[in-house]
Structure formats: structure tokens, C-alpha cells
Amino acid sequence: MRALPIPVWTLAICAAAAVVFGAPQLQAALVYNREAIAAGEAWRLVSGNLVHFSGSHLIKDVVALLAIGLLIETGRRRHFALLCLASGSLIGSVLYVAEPELAVYGGLSGIVTAAATYLCLHGIEEDGAYRWLCLGVLLCLAAKTGCEIALGFSPLPGTDAEGFALVPLSHAVGAATAIALFALENRSATRGLLIAP
Amino acid sequence: MRKIASIVFLCFVLGGCATPTKHTSTSVVDFLYPDVRDPVVSPGTPLLALPLRVGIAFVPAQRGAATSFALTEKRQSDVLNEVANHFKKYPFVRTIEVIPSAYLRPRGGFANLDQIRTMYGVDVIALVSYDQTQFTDQGLLSIAYWTIVGAYIVRGQKNDTHTMLDTVVYDIPSRKMLFRAPGLSEIKGSATLVNQSEQLRTDSEAGVSQATADMIKNLDAQLLAFREKVKERPEEYRVVRTEGYRGGGMVDGLMLALLGALLGGAYWARRRK
């Protein structure tokens, strides 16, 4: 029996988020801050995803990322780190362009949405009931994100009590990144099959 | 003689019990510009400090004017809370303070709004006014009222209730109207002669509920249009961001449930292999 691989990236991101939460100086240096980004601190576009504004904000995001990252990394998907990096930087960049009123942003949920979408897209290619489960989850995610974008906030209770407003665009960008990466992977695989003798 | 008495009785029943048209309303114009001899207020350029601190209140009725069946103080507070709960989730809204009617004077004008601004620390106020008209007619079935019992069991009264709620959003310091959104409702109903007033009250309340829902929907659309207007015309609306304006990405309960299902499904699938 082969041992399951250690979910290195998942553990690293979650640990980083926890460390940042415990160090206010780090939070100040890493949070997505529109003015600081405009002044040249471009790393905040990515690192802002690691900053959380409250204990429950951190716990919800980290628990979700642990669950989904564990599934992806133990399922031997190769591109999890690339997915996290790409979605993290795209979320920051798109928010910078599309949400000029937003001064400060933090949270991992955009990356969690990207990871969940990526896992479900790969799950659809598998056999059996798991395939249908992934399809169902993917549809739920699409409906939820669509609802959030259309309304401008999350209609679900509990997301407005954290002293900050939910930014639905981050979830949409995360999902779009996952779809793009999945499409690129499939394109490469198809090309590989065509080229092979 | 008996015939004349019957006709008189019929006139009494059909005419005397008919409810006249009932109209109740409040007016933002009457509240904000009470004295026509006053010079017209020239609005300045609004400075919107995001996230906004917003107040929301019903425009007070004129002294001595009839008030709506449905819009009691409690119901007004419920409507305002419903609107406030809907809008406080927007990232550009820091707080929405529900302001009781007692804090606004009829014909109070901008001077009254300045007092509210000081008391509640709000810069922007949403003023909700209403207009409700109820028409009552008697249908063919009302002939059954002759039997006396018919007045209790036959729904011969036809009621129409037209309701409009209107929200106008003002920037208090600049006296500038930012946007407005109406909510409309039309309810047709019927009632027996005896429970006519109860039915009118029910229709009135239903009208307010429907108009509130419609107004919230329209407010969403108008708010979106206003955001675009602010972006397109920076010379008309100045926007500054304060430190508290922050947004976050947070996993909600639905997401956690979906991930739990995925985790369980994946575990089950791997065990089967």
C-alpha cells in the first residue's frame, strides 16, 4: 500500500495564515491595502489572501482550505501550488482594477473556491457516484457565486457579522482561475495524446 | 308605506355602509421644503466618505393628517429594519441607523436633518414616504345583504388598495439628492360587509409588505446605477475612502457543507477502490 503524500502546500498556506493572524506587524505589512499597492508594494496583491480580520474568519477559511487541499494533494494533483499562486495573485489584481472603492481586503476564501472548483472539475472525470457528487457541488458553487455576484453580497446568514463586507468578486475570480487551469491541463493532455505515436 | 320603508332601508344598507375612498400619504417635499417663501436650497457637491454612515427614517405625517392603517410605529420600524438589513451587507455601508419617527418633526426641513446628523453621526439619510389609497365598491353579490345573514357571509364588497413607498437618499451636508427608488403594489380583494374594515386593514398591511419588497429591489438597481454615475461623473460626486472600508473573502456555511460532502464522498470512493 502506497503512503499518501503529505499535503505540503496546504499545510504551508494554513500555517502561514495562522502565523500572520498572530502577528499584527505582519498583517500590516501583508494585507491588501490599495494605497500601499499604488505606492509600489505589489506583493500585497498576493499576500493579502493570507490576512484574516477575526478568529472565526481565520478558522472558517483555514478549515475549508485544509479539507480541500488535503483532497487535492493526496489525490496527486500536480498543480495545486500553481493554482493557489495564480488564483491569489489574480484575485488581488482583479480587485485592484474592478473594486476601486475597496481600501483593504483579506481572506483565503477566493483560493478555497478556486481549489474546490478545481477538485470538482477533476472529480467529474472520475467514475461512479463521486462523479455525480462533484457535479452537484460544482453546480451549487456556480449558483452560490452567481447569486453573490448578482446581489453584491452573500445572501447566506453569518457572513456580515465580522466587521467587514464580503467581496463576492474574489470567489468568482477564484473559480475562473480554476476553470482556466483545468482547461490548460486538458489541452496539454490532449496535445500529448495527439503527438504520441 | 311598507314599500317606502323598504327603499329607505335599502338605501341605508347600501349607501350608509359603503366605505368612502381612504387616502393617506406623507411627502418628502413637504418635509424638506416646508415654507414656499424660503429661497430654493442650492445643493453643493457631495463628499461621500466610504464606508458610509447612513440613517433611514419615515417622513413624519403632517399634524392632524390621517395615517395609514398599516404603518403603525411598530410596522414602520419593521419596514426600516428590513431595508437596513438588506443594505448593511454592502461594503460601502458602515452602519445604517434606523431613526424613529419621533426624532423627525413634520415640516422639519434640512434643519431637522442637521440635528439627526449630529445625534446619530450619519452623513447620508434615506427618507421613506408613502402614499396609500383604498377604494371600496359594492359588487352584485351585495344584493344578498338584504337577507341580513348575507352581510355576514357574502363577500359583496370589492376593495382596491394602491400603495407606493418611496425612498429618497440625501447627502445631508450638501443637501444633494443622490438617488430615489419607489416600490409599488396593487391589491384587489373582497370582503363581507361585516368584516370590511378588518379586510381593508389586512389589504393595507399586505400592500405595504409588497411595496417594501418592490422598493428594496428597485433600491438595489438604483444603487447600482448611482455607483456607475459616481464613477462617470467625479466632478459631481467626490468620494473618499476612510480606513474602515475593508472587505474580505470568507467561507460560509454552505461552502463548508459542500466541502464536507466532498471529503466524505472522496473517502468513500477511495475505500471502494
Dist CA B93 CA A165 (whole Å): 9
Beta-carbon pairs below 8 A across chains A and B: 155
Dist CA B101 CA B59 (whole Å): 7
Least confident of B46-50, B79-83, B101-105: B46-50
Nearest Cα to B229, choosing from B219, B221, B237? B237
Kindly tell me if the per-residue pLDDT of A144 is higher than 70: yes
Dist CA B156 CA B142 (whole Å): 4
Nearest CA in chain B to A169: B249
Whether A125 has its CB under 8 Å from any CB of chain B: the answer is: no
Least confident of B19-23, B29-33, B133-137: B19-23
Domain ranges of chain A: 8-195
Nearest CA in chain A to B231: A100
**What is B46-60 written as a DSSP string?**
-EEEESEEEEEEEPP
Whether A12 has its CB under 8 Å from any CB of chain B: the answer is: no
pLDDT tens per residue, range B188-241: 888 787 778 888 888 888 888 999 999 999 988 888 888 778 877 878 888 776
Kindly tell me if the per-residue pLDDT of A161 is higher than 50: no
A178 sits in which H/E element? helix A168-195
Dist CA B180 CA B125 (whole Å): 11
**pLDDT averaged over chain B?**
81
Contact yes or no for B252 and A156 at CB 8 A: yes
Dist CA B101 CA B104 (whole Å): 5
**pLDDT averaged over chain A?**
85
Whether A110 has its CB under 8 Å from any CB of chain B: the answer is: yes
Contact yes or no for A60 and B92 at CB 8 A: no
pLDDT tens per residue, range A72-129: 988 767 789 999 999 999 999 999 998 877 888 899 989 999 999 999 999 888 878 8
Alpha helices in B21-177 (DSSP H): 28-32, 73-87, 109-120, 150-153
Kindly tell me if the per-residue pLDDT of B99 is higher than 70: yes
Nearest CA in chain B to A139: B258
Nearest Cα to A185, choosing from A127, A142, A122, A138? A122
**Confidence tier at B67 by pLDDT (50, 70, 90):** low
- Spell out the residues 6+ positions from residue B7 whose beta carbon is closer than 8 angstroms to its own: none
**Confidence tier at A196 by pLDDT (50, 70, 90):** low
Preceding peptide of B51 cis, ω within 30°: yes
**B91 vs A61, A102, A141: nearest CB:** A102
* Selected residue of B250, B263, B267 to mutate for chain A interface (largest A Cβ count, 10 A): B250
Nearest CA in chain A to B93: A165
Dmax (CA) of chain B: 100
Dist CA B46 CA A112 (whole Å): 39
Contact yes or no for B251 and A120 at CB 8 A: no
Q: Which three cell numbers stand for residue A75?
A: 489525490
Contact yes or no for A133 and B265 at CB 8 A: yes
Whether A106 has its CB under 8 Å from any CB of chain B: the answer is: yes
Contact yes or no for A112 and B255 at CB 8 A: yes
**Confidence tier at B16 by pLDDT (50, 70, 90):** very low
Mean pLDDT of B142-162: 81
Kindly tell me if the per-residue pLDDT of A175 is higher than 90: yes
CB atoms within 10 A of CB B131: 18
Whether A87 has its CB under 8 Å from any CB of chain B: the answer is: no
pLDDT tens per residue, range B242-270: 665 677 777 888 888 888 888 888 888 77
As a whole-number percent, the residues of chain A with pLDDT over 90 amount to 49
Contact yes or no for A157 and B253 at CB 8 A: yes
Kindly tell me if the per-residue pLDDT of B12 is higher than 60: no
Dist CA A165 CA A109 (whole Å): 13
Dist CA A109 CA A100 (whole Å): 20
Nearest CA in chain A to B92: A101
Strand partners of residue B135: B160
Report the pLDDT value the prediction gives residue A89, as an integer from 0 to 100: 94
As a whole-number percent, the residues of chain B with pLDDT over 70 amount to 85
Contact yes or no for A144 and B254 at CB 8 A: yes
Report the pLDDT value the prediction gives residue B6, as an integer from 0 to 100: 57
pLDDT tens per residue, range A53-83: 888 889 999 999 999 998 898 876 778 999 9
Report the pLDDT value the prediction gives residue B76, as an integer from 0 to 100: 87
ipTM surpassing 0.85: no
Contact B220, B179 (CB under 8 A): no
Topology of domain A8-195, per CATH?
Rhomboid-like fold (1.20.1540)
Contact yes or no for A156 and B263 at CB 8 A: no
Using N-to-C axis directions, what is the helix angle for A129-151 and A168-195, rounded to 10°?
140
